[in-house]
Amino acid sequence: MPSLAKLYNEFKESGFVILAVDIAEDKEVIRRYVSKAKLPFPVLLDTDGKVAAQYGIRAHPAHFLLDGEGKLIAAAMGARNWASDETRNLIRILIEQNGKKHGIEGKS
């Protein structure tokens, strides 16, 4: 989560969004975690597992990249360093491509 927070903080002004989804954990436990970890992005609750089923989640954590139209463009299972240079370059390219597609100048 710390590397996701770092990635989000770097790109949030460019229209980059992170939505974390917690599966089937107690709301109060998640609220305390989000507060303690000072997560800068929303954490949604999938209390009945419908979102997990829809995305075919087989491992935790699972990560999905969606384009500006909500289309799935990549998936990664397991822990990742989302603040690595490689990942930051990928996100920068995706933001630029999405901006060009929609006639928007992206900040990166």
Alpha helices (runs of H) in 1-108, residue ranges in sequence order: 2-11, 27-37, 50-54, 85-101
Q: Residues 22-31: pLDDT tens digits?
A: 998 899 999 9
Nearest to 44 by CA among 20, 63, 24: 20
Distances in whole angstroms, Cα of residue 18 to Cα of each of 7, 68, 87, 93: 9, 12, 14, 17
Q: Assign 94 a pLDDT band (cuts: 50, 70, 90).
A: confident
- The C-alpha atoms of residue 68 and residue 57 are separated, in whole angstroms, by 22
pTM for the model: 0.77
What is the per-residue pLDDT for 22? 92
Domains of the chain with bracketed CATH: 2-101 (3.40.30.10)
Amino acid at the residue 81: N
Q: Determine the average pLDDT of the residues in 93-103.
A: 77
What is the per-residue pLDDT for 33? 94
Q: Assign 106 a pLDDT band (cuts: 50, 70, 90).
A: very low
Amino acid at the residue 60: H
